[in-house]
C-alpha cells in the first residue's frame, strides 16, 4: 500500500508538469491530428481503397503514431529529472524507489490514451466510423494498452541512458520512420518491390493491421496475435533493461 500511494503521488507530480507544458500538449495532441487530416485530404484522394474510406484505413496507424510521439516526451521528461539532480533528491527521501520510475511510466500511459481520445474524436468528426463488436473493441483496447506500455518502457530505457534532454527522444524518430514504412498510410501492395518486403516484415505492420482488423470488425487473423506478441516482448525486454539501468543509477 505504501508503494502504491507513493507511485500515485509521483504520477500526479509528473502529470501536473506535463499539463503545464503547452508545447507538449500541442505536439502530442495536435500533430497526430494534423498528420491525419493531411493524409486524408491531401494524399487520400490519390488512394484507391475500393469501397473502404481512406480515413477508416489510416486511423489505426495514426493511433500508433500518437503513442510513439507521446513516448518521446516521456524520455525527455525522465532525462530532465536525471540530469537536473531531481532523482538524487528523491532517492534521499523515505519513499518507494520504484515509485520514482513508476510515476513516469503511468503518466505516459495515461497521457497517451488521452491523446488517442482526442485523435479519435477528431477522426469521428471527419468521417471515421467503426464497425466492430464489443469483443473486438476490447481486444483493440488490449492491443493499444500493451503497445502503449511497450513504447513507454522503450522511452524510459532511452531516457535513463541519455546524457542530455536534446538526445533523449531521438529514438522516437527512428520508430516513426518504421511506422511510415509500414501499412499505416498505404497498402503494402501499392509499394515498390523493395519497400514491400520491408513493410511486410516490419513488426509495426502487424500491430497496425491487427488493430485495423479489430476496429473493422473483421475475423481475427494472425496480425493481431503477432502484434500482441511483438508488443508484449518489447514491453518485457525494455522493462527489464530499464530496471537494470535504474538500479545502477541508485548506487
Helix (H) or strand (E) holding 137: helix 134-161
Cβ neighbours for 39, distance < 8 A, ≥ 6 positions apart:
54, 58, 62, 185
Q: pLDDT tens, 135-160?
A: 889 999 999 999 999 999 999 999 99
Question: Does residue 36 contact residue 59 with C-beta atoms inside 8 Å?
Answer: yes
153-173 average pLDDT score: 90
Q: What's the Cα-to-Cα distance from 121 to each of 26, 59, 61, 118, rounded to whole Å?
A: 16, 11, 15, 5
DSSP character at residue 218: P
152-170 core/surface letters (b: 16 or more CB in 10 A; e: else): bbbbbbbbbbbeebeebbe
Compute the distance between CA of residue 42 and CA of residue 156 in angstroms, rounded to an integer: 35
Q: Which three cell numbers stand for residue 38?
A: 493531411
Q: pLDDT tens, 57-70?
A: 999 999 999 999 88
pLDDT band at residue 11 under the 50/70/90 scheme? confident
pLDDT band at residue 51 under the 50/70/90 scheme? confident
Q: Where are the domains of the chain?
A: 2-250
Amino acid at each position: 500500500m505504501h508503494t502504491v500511494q507513493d507511485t500515485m503521488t509521483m504520477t500526479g507530480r509528473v502529470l501536473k508538469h506535463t499539463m503545464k507544458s503547452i508545447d507538449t500538449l500541442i505536439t502530442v495532441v495536435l500533430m497526430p491530428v494534423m498528420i491525419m487530416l493531411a493524409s486524408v485530404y491531401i494524399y487520400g484522394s490519390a488512394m484507391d481503397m475500393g469501397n473502404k474510406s481512406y480515413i477508416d484505413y489510416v486511423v489505426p496507424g495514426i493511433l500508433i503514431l500518437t503513442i510513439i510521439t507521446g513516448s518521446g516526451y516521456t524520455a525527455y521528461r525522465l532525462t530532465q529529472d536525471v540530469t537536473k539532480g531531481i532523482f538524487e533528491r528523491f532517492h534521499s527521501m523515505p519513499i518507494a524507489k520504484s515509485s520514482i520510475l513508476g510515476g513516469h511510466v503511468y503518466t505516459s500511459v495515461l497521457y497517451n490514451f488521452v491523446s488517442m481520445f482526442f485523435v479519435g474524436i477528431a477522426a469521428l468528426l471527419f468521417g471515421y466510423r467503426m464497425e466492430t463488436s464489443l469483443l473486438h473493441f476490447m481486444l483493440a483496447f488490449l492491443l493499444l494498452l500493451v503497445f502503449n506500455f511497450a513504447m513507454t518502457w522503450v522511452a524510459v530505457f532511452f531516457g535513463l541512458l541519455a546524457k542530455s534532454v536534446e538526445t533523449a527522444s531521438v529514438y522516437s524518430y527512428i520508430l516513426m520512420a518504421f511506422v511510415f514504412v509500414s501499412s499505416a498510410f498505404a497498402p503494402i501492395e501499392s509499394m515498390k518491390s523493395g519497400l514491400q518486403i520491408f513493410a511486410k516484415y516490419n513488426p509495426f505492420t502487424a500491430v497496425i493491421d491487427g488493430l485495423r482488423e479489430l476496429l473493422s470488425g473483421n475475423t481475427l487473423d494472425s496480425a493481431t496475435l503477432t502484434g500482441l506478441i511483438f508488443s508484449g516482448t518489447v514491453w518485457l525486454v525494455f522493462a527489464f533493461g530499464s530496471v537494470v539501468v535504474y538500479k545502477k543509477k541508485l548506487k
